[in-house]
Amino acid sequence: MMTREDMLRELELLPVWQLRQQAAKATQASMPASIPISNVNTALDRISIIQNFDWQALRVDVKSCQACGLAKTRTQTVFGVGDENADWLIVGEAPGAEEDKRGEPFVGRAGQLLDNMLAAIELKRGENVYIANVLKCRPPENRDPHGEEVMQCDPYLKRQVELIKPKLILALGKFAAQSLLNSDATVTSMRGKLHHYHYHGVPVIVTYHPAYLLRNLADKAKAWDDLCLAKSTMQSL
């Protein structure tokens, strides 16, 4: 029978395993005393395992994920869609009702606007474009994602970025921008500039979320500027 050691070796995690013990101690040192080291180890185990997944393993893991309370309220997970070798990665916030029903990101009204935004810069869903969300499950009543949910889902998005290796990421709205850029700045202050994804240094452009633009038509002109910036940045890469 395969032992835990065999499995970790198989996953090429063993050296990381040793480092993780040190990492766990360092993390533990900066955490409240009430969080036991075994929980830190478990979280680090999960992150290390996800970091080594291929597409198939990642899909399977997302589908059965129980890491946060959204597992209980979702209809299904919404993994992401598009060209797995895309130059463009579009990151939204979380599935809404329609996405939860259909299992695909951005298929509701905001999705139609996103498709139009992509068309404006001569892009098409699925063609050199991959679309994913920060959260893979719908928050009930479309409420904002909670910090714990973002934290638990973050390794999935990170792994998607690593597997796709996009040339540029377009962050739609506050949650995508804040989680990709590890920041608590507003969209207004982040848009109009070139940022870099903290994990792999991929260029990131921030713009308004299409659902916000549906309610705030006047900001569509600014979103257009952001799309032009994204396009010219891509052309310069």
Binding site for ligand URA (CB under 6 A): 92-96, 99, 105-106, 108, 110-111, 133, 211
> 44 or 135, CB closer to ligand URA?
135
The least CB distance from residue 145 to ligand URA, in Å, is 10
The least CB distance from residue 96 to ligand URA, in Å, is 4
Nearest residue relative to ligand URA (C-beta): 92
The least CB distance from residue 232 to ligand URA, in Å, is 25
Residue 169 near residue 132, CB atoms below 8 Å: no
The least CB distance from residue 209 to ligand URA, in Å, is 6
d(CA 223, CA 82): 22
> 92 or 155, CB closer to ligand URA?
92
Q: Which residues of 33-59 are buried (b: 16+ CB within 10 A; e: fewer)?
A: eeeeeeebbebbbebbbbeebeeeebe
- Distance from chain centroid for Cα 214: 22
> 24 or 175, CB closer to ligand URA?
175
Residue 85 CB contacts under 8 Å (≥ 6 apart), including other chains: 164, 165
